[in-house]
Amino acid sequence: MGSYDVMYLALELCEKGELFDILFSTGQFEEKIARAFFHQALEGLEAIHSAGMSHRDMKPENMLFDANFNVKIADFGFAIVLSGRDGTGMLHTYLGTENYMAPEIHARKAYNGISVDLFALGIILFIMLSKNPPFARPE
């Protein structure tokens, strides 16, 4: 019969949905609520960064909530090791979700994975408190 490698994927049920949908239905959050969700997301990012990874696509759609409204960070499709492909600690790939990307990514300059994750989380905090993105283009 032989042997073969098997890959497993474990998922956690996030029955309260994503931050984006909650913001859409409730409107902006009170400061106390936004602060609590921000703090949980910051702790999640700290764990990701401590594991030597950068998420690179933080946005409200990637912040999910379990039954107790605990924040769960999802979608690691753009994640990369903090050291980068070349080992310098600088990342070079132009990717992410445009409204949450740090200026250095838009400028196509080398960037630090921790810094761009924190920049995106700051955008998310702004949206939680105002229900609007900080850099909205006038229509």
Q: Which residues are catalytic?
A: 57
Q: How far apart are CA 75 and CA 56, in angstroms?
A: 10
Buried-state track 1-24, b at ≥16 Cβ within 10 A, e below 16: eeeeeeeeeeeeebebebbbebbe
Contact 124, 132 (CB under 8 A): no
As a whole number of angstroms, the longest Cα–Cα distance in the chain is 64
Q: How far apart are CA 90 and CA 104, in angstroms?
A: 11
